[in-house]
Amino acid sequence: MTEKIIFWYGCNVLRHGDIIHGCLEILRLLGLDARPAGGPDYCCGNGKDGNQTAADGMARRTVTRFNSMERDRLVAWCPSCHAHMIEFMGEAYTPQFDLTYLVDVLYERRDRLAALLKHPVPMRVLVHKHLGFNDKVAVNERIPALLRLIPGLEVVDDDYAAPGYMCALLSAVPAAMEDMVRETVRRIAARRADAVVTIYHQCYRELVGLEPHAGIKAFNYIQLLAQSIGLQYEDEYKAWKKAGASAGTLIGEKRVEQVGVQFFERALLPELMKRPPGLGDE
């Protein structure tokens, strides 16, 4: 019988439609009936340290909505959501579902996944790791193991793990973010890697800028699994980052108008133009 799950993708990965679509297709190919749920209406409230009344309301709403779906388990993409569910939401309210992180689902089914990985991805990659979250899910070991299932792909051994659990919170400590970028670039060169591979979307958002600004290829691990399976999802976010100030032209007038021209220019374009900190001047 097909296991019915909720695929809780979170909020910020909505910048990367190819990652969400790739995850869903991989889950389907692994025999899971995945129902996607995410965005602000399913927010975990992890970012609301400064307003616990709001965090409480969000936790209550989201746990309640998942309970009402009556699915076998909740599979999380985002490490913030996963950790917040374990540490706070699930302690405060009463989840009526099991919680698993996506990497564990893929790792549990790695034999079946390996059979799907038919297309070689000849590349030598450095996995971008963090110190945190690995106590909950052994991502720093399991992601390299999953990537090594891809024909032609080599994962270099490297012991660097950046502070934090993903790059998101480092943005509040600019010097730490700069150190992370500099050390990542240094390790890529030292290991003669062709590319850096991120585990999380937030790190991908920070490091994908290395392509246009430092000539270093960057991927998220799901993109490489999808590529080896033969799934064709375009990484538009990377294309927009490469376009920089011209991203609006690439996206197209009609789509920019859908989100509002002024809002696009004020709230989206600066992010697309942003150069990874710590690289120095161009």
Partner 1 sequence: MRSKQVVAAIGWRTPSVRHWLQHNQDKMSANMARQAMPTGAMQAFVRKETERILAACTKCGKCFEACPMTRYSPKLAGADPKAVATGVLGLLNGGEGSPEALAWASVCVRSGSCVPACQDNVDPKMMVRIARMIASGGLGGTKKIPVRDDRDYYDRVRAFAKLQLTEDEIKNWM
- Which residues would be at the binding site for partner 1 (CB under 8 A)? 11-12, 14-17, 20, 36-43, 47-53, 55-57, 59-61, 63-65, 67-69, 83, 87-89, 91-94, 130-135, 163-165, 169-170, 172-173, 175-176, 236-237, 251, 255, 258-260, 263-264, 266-268, 271
Cβ burial 212-235 (10 Å sphere, 16+ → b, else e) = bbbebbbbbbbbbbbbbbebebeb
Q: Given the complex with partner 1, which of 175 and 190 has the nearer CB atom?
A: 175
Residue written as token pair 């996995």: 127
Residue 147 Cβ vs partner 1, minimum distance, rounded to whole Å: 23
Compute the C-alpha angle 197/201/203, nearest 5°. Answer: 60
Q: Given the complex with partner 1, which of 117 and 226 has the nearer CB atom?
A: 226
Q: For the chain, what's the residue count?
A: 282
In sequence order, what E strands does 32-168 have? 32-38, 73-76, 98-101, 123-130, 153-155, 161-162
Q: Given the complex with partner 1, which of 64 and 230 has the nearer CB atom?
A: 64
Q: How far is CA 155 from CA 146, 149, 183, 259, in A?
A: 10, 10, 18, 39
Q: How far is CA 270 from CA 13, 236, 264, in A?
A: 18, 16, 9
Q: Given the complex with partner 1, which of 211 and 235 has the nearer CB atom?
A: 235
Per-residue tokens: 9 = 């993708």
Residue written as token pair 């909740």: 74
Q: Given the complex with partner 1, which of 85 and 216 has the nearer CB atom?
A: 85
Q: Given the complex with partner 1, which of 64 and 249 has the nearer CB atom?
A: 64
Residue 120 Cβ vs partner 1, minimum distance, rounded to whole Å: 28
Residue 78 Cβ vs partner 1, minimum distance, rounded to whole Å: 12
Residue 5 Cβ vs partner 1, minimum distance, rounded to whole Å: 14
Residue 214 Cβ vs partner 1, minimum distance, rounded to whole Å: 23
Residue 204 Cβ vs partner 1, minimum distance, rounded to whole Å: 13
Contact 79, 143 (CB under 8 A): no
**Which region, left, alpha or beta, applies to residue 2 given φ > 0 means left and ψ of -120 to 50 means alpha?**
beta
Q: Given the complex with partner 1, which of 59 and 222 has the nearer CB atom?
A: 59
Q: Amino acid letter at 65?
A: R
Residue 79 Cβ vs partner 1, minimum distance, rounded to whole Å: 10
